[in-house]
Structure 1
């Protein structure tokens, strides 16, 4: 079917404008975390928001007010989960993946690479992207909770305070 009526086209355009405006306002209210790099929960919320937006725009049986209520519901859930994560380390660990040390003092951590399904080539690419050419000069590469790789240069990993959460007890001199 190529075309039904102009009324349907106008409805889609008006609902698109209204729902787009509503989601922008809701995301602004819910804070920067809603727009941050995605962990698994943020990814699910983003997909759900997109699905609701599409349903509101294209499905006549879903009203704008129902869509806005769903947007607010997801934003509230995200706020609640974030608040609980900030108050409870156990809840935060259950929700988010922990950062993993992939390279320490110029040596690849093969078990961590295998567990995280990351190749040496990918780690080396992250090192190059940070402007470094020698793996043996890198103190650490960490696969962060959002999937990005952090590259720490110079010195030994055990001397880096930023690595305390990814080093095993006894591996840090701090």
Structure 2
């Protein structure tokens, strides 16, 4: 009986050892999972920071290039062009002030460019007679309602006068 008891006790100790080992492994696995997720989160934050810094770098490079070109333009303006910003006295109140700035034409000045334009009367334009592409005969357009009614009654053949 002692042997059976000791065998049973050893079996229970082994089972208890396996349960403790399994619990310890599970606890280590959970701790490792939390650690991995923590590191993964830090990596994502670092990547976002890198992307943000790269965008800021591009923005600063663009700003630097813009300011350098502004200095170059200012130097060219001072030496070559001599442009100045408009002053308040250069703005006009309306069309009358603009017209007052005009000067009469000089004696040898070329004549102004003129644009052709049609008269604005209500004359009816005369178009050439339409010819049917099928028969080669002129197309007759009914101008009054009675002629239109007759054409519709005859089959509505407006394009080709195919009646013999």
Q: Structures share a fold, TM > 0.5?
A: no
TM range (shorter): under 0.3
Q: TM-score, normalised by structure 2?
A: 0.24
Q: Greater CA radius of gyration, 1 or 2? A: 2
Larger relative contact order, structure 1 or 2 (CA cutoff 8 Å, min sep 6): 1
